[in-house]
A and B are shown apart, each in its own frame.
Chain A
Amino acid sequence: MRKYLLFIILIFLCSITVFSQDLDQIVGSLTDNSSPDYANAAFKGTTIVNGQSTEIPGHMDLQFNISHRFGAINQGIYTLFGIDQGTTRLGFEYGLKDIVGLSIGRSTYEKTYDGAIKVKVLRQQTGVKNIPVTVSLYQAVFIKTLKWEEPDRENLFSSRLSYATQILISRKFNRNLSLQLAPSYVHKNLVPTPEDQNNIFAIGAGGRYKLTKRFSINGEYYWLLPGKTADDFANSLGLGFDIEAAGHVFQIMATNSQLMFARGYITETEGKWSEGDIYFGFNIYRVFHTGKRNKKGN
């Protein structure tokens, strides 16, 4: 008798369920989930502080980069805490198909030109495929164009060259937090003494936390693997923030690296945070779109 009652009530409940199985559920079942849901914009800039992020400019976006680091703040009031001095890098970066980023630049330090390619080989996504990280490969070449110190002896062009290779692995954990790991390799064709390393390995780690939609705090550290370079130079630490405004990203930072290209900040960081060898600086990124645009009146 009780079983019967239960059974009847169950059937009645089922009919109510059908009653409330409304259009929303039908619509939900129609939604196409086959297209991947990419986790875009893990970082606002193509760099986190000094170092590269996994990001590249969007398809056909041309980005103009102005980067500047002032002198060390521990020089005191005489140089207005380093403001009198500074190094600059100017560069352009161009995006192709949201996968490839090409960049060129020139730094005042040793009149160094740099050229690089960054390729997004994996994109963090959910959906049919579940890929937890974005992976970008970064390959850069640096050309020092200072006049030869001894022009009389035989100088090879290849001596001017050095290279940096990075595997950038980032994950956007949520809309605010993104973290990145960056195993890095730097090769220098010519080093000052036979004891200096031609091949240097380092591991970078960085991240950002968005405090508002257009403002984030960023941090980054490059750890040099033990060796002569690690003995002679410091590990790079940079702390800063991003401000995004209408096609611009402003990155303002304090760092112990004065150089703004990968070989420089990974292997030639001289400043020590503990001694106040800290450089203030900024990166300004301005994006121009080079494709067709809907002009007013079209």
Chain B
Amino acid sequence: MIKSYIKKIISVLLIPGMLVISGFQEKGSIYTCRNGQASFQSDAPLEVIKASSKNLTGAINISDRSFSFLVPTKTFEGFNSSLQKTHFNEDYMETDTYPNSTFKGKIIEEIDLSVPGTYKVRAKGKMYIHGVENDRIVRCDLTVSEKKIDVTAAFTVFLADHNISIPSILNQKIAEEIKVEISFSLTSADN
């Protein structure tokens, strides 16, 4: 009597449990990227500032179209002088306190990313920069090929949205609206 009771429990709990495991470990559903590129440009009346990072990492689960991307803010290089880079890290982005900038969410369009082709999609999610999270929709161009997804996107970030304040003396040198460009290739995590 007791043994059959246990067997019931096993069938009721364990089997769906295993299904959950297999469902989320489904082979080939997760694509990842290590050395993606993120660059930004501040286009102010008196000065143009450019910097980029090759340390963008991210992952997409193509079965539910969720994604998560991260770039360590300290890894941005470029700028017009090393003092400017120091100010970027120390005064504006405060990278000791907020080391990462992230974007996490889901692709709105219900497309099958295992089918090769080019897609224009909207990525909806939470963009976290300088400790402030905003809901954003970012238009992306996706090129899907065998076991690889290339992604490019361009969007703007308003400094005020992320509580990044510029001294008024510098408002001719630092734009309030920063252009950001992202480009990376995701490969199937199985590889």
Identify the A interface with B (CB < 8 A).
1, 4-5, 8-9, 11-12, 14-16, 18-19, 21-24, 26-28, 30-32, 35, 37, 40-41, 57-61, 95, 98, 174-175, 213-214, 244-247, 287, 289, 291, 293-296, 298
Task: Give Cα A11 to B15, complex, Å.
Answer: 10
Q: A24-B68, A30-B32, A246-B169 are in contact. Are A289 and B21 (CB under 8 A)?
A: no
- 11 residue pairs of the A-B complex, CB under 8 angstroms, read A1-B6, A15-B18, A18-B21, A26-B189, A31-B72, A58-B85, A174-B96, A245-B167, A293-B80, A294-B50, A296-B45
Shortest CB distance B188–A (Å): 13
Asked if A32 and B47 make an inter-chain contact with CB atoms under 8 angstroms apart, the answer reads: no
- For chain B, the count of residues having a C-beta within 8 Å of the partner chain is 56
Task: Tell me if B81 is interfacial: C-beta within 8 Å of chain A.
Answer: yes
Q: A4-B6, A246-B170 are in contact. Are A98 and B91 (CB under 8 A)?
A: no
Instruction: Name the residue of chain B whose CB is nearest to the CB of A176.
Output: B96
Instruction: Name the residue of chain B whose CB is nearest to the CB of A32.
Output: B55
Instruction: Name the residue of chain B whose CB is nearest to the CB of A58.
Output: B82
Asked if B81 and A22 make an inter-chain contact with CB atoms under 8 angstroms apart, the answer reads: no
Asked if B81 and A61 make an inter-chain contact with CB atoms under 8 angstroms apart, the answer reads: yes
Asked if A31 and B70 make an inter-chain contact with CB atoms under 8 angstroms apart, the answer reads: yes
Instruction: Name the residue of chain B whose CB is nearest to the CB of A294.
Output: B48
Task: Tell me if B13 is interfacial: C-beta within 8 Å of chain A.
Answer: yes
Task: Give Cα A175 to B89, complex, Å.
Answer: 11
Task: Give Cα A295 to B47, complex, Å.
Answer: 6
CB contacts (< 8 Å) of A32 on chain B: these are 34-35, 55, 57
CB contacts (< 8 Å) of A40 on chain B: these are 86, 89-90
Asked if A24 and B104 make an inter-chain contact with CB atoms under 8 angstroms apart, the answer reads: yes
Asked if B83 and A23 make an inter-chain contact with CB atoms under 8 angstroms apart, the answer reads: no
Asked if A175 and B96 make an inter-chain contact with CB atoms under 8 angstroms apart, the answer reads: yes
Task: Give Cα A291 to B85, complex, Å.
Answer: 14
Asked if B81 and A12 make an inter-chain contact with CB atoms under 8 angstroms apart, the answer reads: no
Contact with A along B38-81 (1 / 0, CB 8 A): 00000001111110000101111100001111101011000011
Identify the B interface with A (CB < 8 A).
2, 6, 9-10, 13-14, 17-18, 20-21, 24-25, 30, 32-35, 45-50, 55, 57-61, 66-70, 72, 74-75, 80-86, 89-91, 94, 96-97, 104, 167, 169-170, 173, 189
CB contacts (< 8 Å) of A11 on chain B: these are 13-14, 17
Task: Give Cα A95 to B81, complex, Å.
Answer: 11
Asked if B68 and A23 make an inter-chain contact with CB atoms under 8 angstroms apart, the answer reads: yes
Asked if A289 and B17 make an inter-chain contact with CB atoms under 8 angstroms apart, the answer reads: no
| Interchain CB contact (< 8 A) of B90 among A41, A247, A293 | A41
Shortest CB distance B62–A (Å): 11
Shortest CB distance B99–A (Å): 9
CB contacts (< 8 Å) of A213 on chain B: these are 90-91, 94
Q: A41-B86, A287-B81 are in contact. Are A27 and B6 (CB under 8 A)?
A: no
Task: Give Cα A100 to B171, complex, Å.
Answer: 32
| Interchain CB contact (< 8 A) of B9 among A5, A30, A95 | A5
Asked if A27 and B57 make an inter-chain contact with CB atoms under 8 angstroms apart, the answer reads: yes
Shortest CB distance A60–B (Å): 7
Q: A23-B61, A27-B58 are in contact. Are A35 and B75 (CB under 8 A)?
A: yes
